[in-house]
Chain A
Amino acid sequence: MTMFIASRGFEVAVPPELLGAQHTCWRALELWQVSGWFIATLELGRGDLAGLHRLLFAWDSDVAFAVEGPMQARLVDLTFVRPPAPSVGRWQCLTIARLWRGHDAAQGNCEVLAFETEQGDMFCSSDAVPVPSTVAGLTVIAETALARKPWGTRQ
């Protein structure tokens, strides 16, 4: 379960009128329990925060929450950042086209979030495992601008 750790020594003082008193700026973070995580560009359509924002998400469920929850964000782009595996030896940035939700019959019908890459590969969980064959009822809950681009015109 990846999380971002912020330590006081890396806090950057920013006047609260610039970011709001609830927010804190950091120039460095550490990853806790390193597995895959996400970089997302979201478009918020209302309120003071209307416009494009880039977020780092440690959990896949929070990506879904951003587009389905109160934020009602539109997913513009999404990258899965995969830590180096011994066989690969380097970080990988996988471009995601669609976010899917299904249910796994082998796990008590629990909810599963699946990610479709721009090449059409599907994986789930922050360890990027292939979607088990026991997962059924997959439906698209969000797609990026890349997926919305007509077939045959992707770069």
Chain B
Amino acid sequence: MFVSLPEFRFPLPVGLAQPGAQYWRALTTTTNSAWYIMKVKVAGEDGGVDLRTMLLWWDRDVLETIEQLRPLSIDSLVCVLPTPFEGARKRRGQTPSINLKEVWLAHDPEGPETLTPLFVDEHGAARMGLLAEEIDSPPSKLRLVGRVGTGLGASTANA
């Protein structure tokens, strides 16, 4: 998860801040698992279009955010795969990122009665789990939740 550090809180004046929101210049993270950057267009209160960019820790948050916001479009969805600390020590020196194209709700291979998010990356590979690992035999897809370049998925498919 993202962990806020008290010394990096930014005291935005009340009139400028969103109600109930806290503003931070820096945060730390708890683990080296995959997390997500999603940029969406949503309908604004004034009838216009608002751009929102979110950092999401869990794959389920990607799915839930799309379903809750019902974006007009998903402009980009990136999976960030931080280098494991051992890798950092070995000087690999990079933070890999993967462009994702589709978000599906799928049957969990560990227990088909459980539903889990499944991603398809820009090369067509299926990815899932804490490390968004590429999987050779993806579980059956139940429902398309979102596709980059478009809005909320509406179809139901079995693959």
Contact = CB atoms under 8 A, between A and B. Distances in A.
B58 A27 contact: yes
Contacts of B82: 39, 41, 54
A123 interface: no
Contact of B3 (A25, A31, A145): A25
Contacts of A91: 37, 76, 78, 97, 99
A148 B91 contact: yes
A4 B37 CA distance: 12
Q: Interface size for chain B: under 10, 10 to 19, 20 to 34, or 35 or more residues?
A: 35 or more
A95 B24 contact: no
Contact of A4 (B23, B61, B92): B23
Interface string B20-36: 11111111111010000
Interface residues of A, number: 51
B94 A79 contact: yes
B88 interface: yes
Given A39-B82, A59-B25, A93-B97, 19 more contacts: A4-B25, A5-B22, A12-B1, A26-B57, A27-B1, A28-B2, A29-B24, A30-B53, A32-B23, A34-B51, A54-B82, A55-B26, A62-B25, A62-B26, A91-B78, A93-B95, A118-B94, A149-B91, A149-B93
A77 B88 CA distance: 7
B79 to A, nearest CB: 10
A25 B30 contact: yes
Interface of B: 1-6, 8, 10, 12, 18, 20-30, 32, 37, 39, 51-58, 61, 65, 75-76, 78, 80, 82-83, 85, 88-89, 91-97, 99
Contacts of B91: 145-146, 148-149
A77 B93 contact: yes
B21 A77 contact: no
